Structure 1
Amino acid sequence: QDEYIKDVMITEPNELFELKTRFRRAYQIRTCLSIDTKLTS
């Protein structure tokens, strides 16, 4: 697992899962997904 990513753009829901499994921290997350997509902690 990588320590952190500075900036990431999420365009597909499956990329959110990848973000959660690959990185411990993300400093800036940009997305064009619907607000209905839930971000879990």
Structure 2
Amino acid sequence: VKAISGLPNNASVCFSMMLTASLDLIVAYLWRVSPSKDIT
């Protein structure tokens, strides 16, 4: 977080948006491939 605070605001927001989007994709992928659908 401290390294990001030095960046411009829009770059920080863009980075966090990309991170959130990729986490959502990973969760959706894991949910689709996992044989048991326990992942909430």
Q: TM-score normalised to the size of structure 1?
A: 0.28
The structure with the larger Rg is 2
Asked which structure has the greater RCO (Cα within 8 Å, sep 6+), the reply is: 1
Q: TM-score normalised to the size of structure 2?
A: 0.28
**Structure having the larger proportion of residues in strand:** 1
